Structure 1
Amino acid sequence: MSGPAAMESVDPVRTLVVGEALVDAVTTSAGATLEHVGGSPANVAFGLAALDHPVDLATWIATDERGRRIEEVCRQRGVALTPGSQGAAFTSVAHATLDADGAATYVFDLEWQLASVPGLAAYGHVHTGSIGAVLPPGGEQVREILAEARRFGATVSYDPNARPSLMGRPEQARHTVESNVALSDVVKLSDEDVAWLCPGESLDEVTRAWGELGPALVVVTRGGEGAVVRVTRTREQQALPAPVVQVVDTVGAGDSFMAGLVSGLIDAGLLGGPDARARLRQATIDDVLPAVERALRTGALTVERAGAHAPTRIDLP
């Protein structure tokens, strides 16, 4: 099936990313603090744009200094903000502290809601995840956008990217997360998400159960151990190793993986509208593995550099 899909001549798939854009204030293990634009969904949008996909971002920022910085970075990266994205009272901040191994822990100062997004029929694919897909009141607005976009035919991807300090008790967060999973065609989560949201359940149990909620494809990242891929229809599951790299820090690694995954699936004709959804529903694991391999490469390139580096197609081997 990958041959015919690859030969089709179609307009580029326009993607809408829905979720938080904020400023990351990163404190290194040496005690120095630097600020840069981040937020998991924003990082995914930047990653897709770096891989030459047209992408818009629906978010919630202010017109303050930090908000203007986010607007400028979006402009530089080729990501358009949807109307109404700049209605916040202040721009949110994520305070990240890096340990000696470069792993980040977060404390957040934010509010989240969402303006309606005009022209949803123009998007072939919608991605959401992390805080914006859960935190009220915006989380419910995100689900409304996902449901409406699906009615227009868009495919949907989702990354829970759990933040325990903001998402309450895991059993409550899981209920909300799984309502998003049910609206999605592709779900990417981490082994840390599995451990927090689904304590006592194995990775295999979660990939199977979440696939049965609706997604055709569930991918679990496992840090330096790579990723596990499960195709719901065929029940095929496979583990892929991660490239061996020197880790500088893990900021944005999962977002870079997500961007690489969506990029690869769009290029394969497996995301981007109702026909792509139908192809994804019939896909085998061999059809999706190239996209997962691209995701592993983009994630690896990101951890080799400080901050949420967004690889380009030139960077990919």
Structure 2
Amino acid sequence: MPEHEMRVVVIGESLVEIISDPRQPEEIQVHPGGSPLNVAVGAARLGLHTSLVTHFADDRHGLLLGEHLRSNFVHVINGGTAPTSTARATLGPDGAADYTFAITWEINGAALPALAAVEGSAHVHTGSIATVLPPGDQATLALVQAAREHATVSYDPNCRPGISPDAAVARHQAELFVAASDVVKASDEDLCWLYPDRTPDETLEAWLALGPAVVAVTRGAAGPVIQSRDGRVELVAEPSAVADTVGAGDSFMAALLSGLSQLGALGTTGRRTRMESLTREELHALAAYANRAAAITCSRQGANPPRKDELGPLP
């Protein structure tokens, strides 16, 4: 399936990020955000035909989100009625963000169109708050499980202890989604919080044993690791003048999906087998491609993933 025809459905939260930087206290930035929304926008900018199953209201913040998604050619399936969620991010000296949330996650208002979108998709992605926060977490899992029969699946836990502070509960939820996925991406911070008694490499091996074909771990300035059952690649982070790290992991995820699509490893019949047979050279190309997407995002403020003409094709 040509990349521009690849139908990807992302399931998860949309919110407005209100960002303050102690280095510039007079400036308050307001950006569309939420990890799944960022992945949907990133995937659409890289040429994938993308829909987002999400929730936001017809309020001031919701109008901002709707316009952002429309302008990036993301089709929206909106399933909620509660006020639009917000995240207040305070940047540290290194540009990393610390979040506090006011968030609701429920998509019951779009159960039928969401299922129809998933059934018509070649790939489904989910993660973050949508996979742990009731009542919508169970609907998210049901949609992912429905997708498994005909589509490839990806997952990024993107843990938010401020939303789901019980690590044992979050760990249980994460393992349900890992087992239902073909591609999993997490940060080393996610893995250390979920599994404080083992190393990220040990968790990577344990997650591969649950069923995914590919697991990637981002490690900030140390760079990413990407591993399959037959190979492992480590790269250092690309040099970049860091404005902030908001959305960098989501850009990595979106580029990983685009790269897998370019390799013919996303989608229906036979694609799962193709993903399971990726060579070490292909894993290296995927890691480099996603690594560069994250570096571009870090070089500018907010979650602003690269477009196809900026990132170019998979090396």
TM-score (norm 2): 0.93
Give unpaired runs (5+ residues) of structure 2: none
Could you tell me which residue of structure 2 aligns to residue 186 of structure 1?
Answer: 183
In the TM superposition, what are the counterparts of 1:46-57 in structure 2 within 5 Å? 46-57=41-52
Corresponding residue to 2:265 among 261, 270, 275:
270
Alignment of 1:136-215 (within 5 A): 136-151=134-149, 153-215=150-212
How many residue pairs match? The answer is: 305
1:227 counterpart = 2:224 = yes
- 1:231–1:284 Cα contact (<8 Å) kept: no
Aligned to 1:93: 86
Q: 1:73 to 1:9 in 2, by over 3 A?
A: closer
Q: Tell me the distance in 1 between the aligned counterparts of 2:301 and 2:215.
A: 28
Partner of 1:130: 128
Distance in structure 1 (CA, Å) of the matches to 2:67 and 2:270: 35
Could you tell me which of 16, 37, 43 is aligned with 2:9?
A: 16
**Secondary structure of the equivalent of 1:315?**
helix
Residues 227 and 72 (structure 1), Cα distance of their counterparts in 2 relative to 1, 3 Å cut:
same
SS in 1 for 2:148: helix
1:115-150 deviation digits (Å, cap 9, x = unpaired): 321422210000011111111111111000000011
| Distance in 2, Cα, partners of 1:282 & 1:86 | 37
Residues 44 and 73, structure 2, Cα contact 8 Å, conserved in 1: yes
- Which of 249, 253, 256 lines up with 2:248 in the alignment? 253
Q: Deviation per CA, 1:71-90: give whole Å up to 9, x if none.
A: 111110100102xx153220
Hey, what does 1:108 align to over in structure 2?
101
Distance 2:64 2:80 in 1: 15
Structure 1 segments of 4+ aligned residues over 3 angstroms from their partners: 8-11
CA distance in 2, matches of 1:288, 1:310: 21
CA distance in 1, matches of 2:280, 2:47: 25
User: Residue 80 of structure 2 contacts residue 106 of structure 2 at CA under 8 Å; is this kept in 1?
Assistant: no
Say whether the 8 Å CA contact 2:14–2:54 is kept in structure 1.
Answer: yes
The separation in 2 between residues aligned to 1:127 and 1:87, in whole angstroms, is 19
CA distance in 2, matches of 1:229, 1:240: 9
Instruction: Among all aligned residue pairs of Structure 1 and Structure 2, give the percentage whose two residues are the same amino acid.
Output: 43
- Contact kept, 8 Å, 1:155 with 1:274, in 2: the verdict is no
* 8 A contact 2:3–2:48 mirrored in 1: no
Aligned to 2:305: 310
271-280 vs 189-198, which moves further: 271-280
Task: Give the TM-score, by structure 1 length.
Answer: 0.93
2:215 matched residue in structure 1: 218
RMSD: 1.4
Please give the alpha-carbon distance, in whole angstroms, between the structure 1 residues aligned to 2:219 and 2:167: 20
Which is worse superposed, 166-175 or 211-220?
A: 166-175
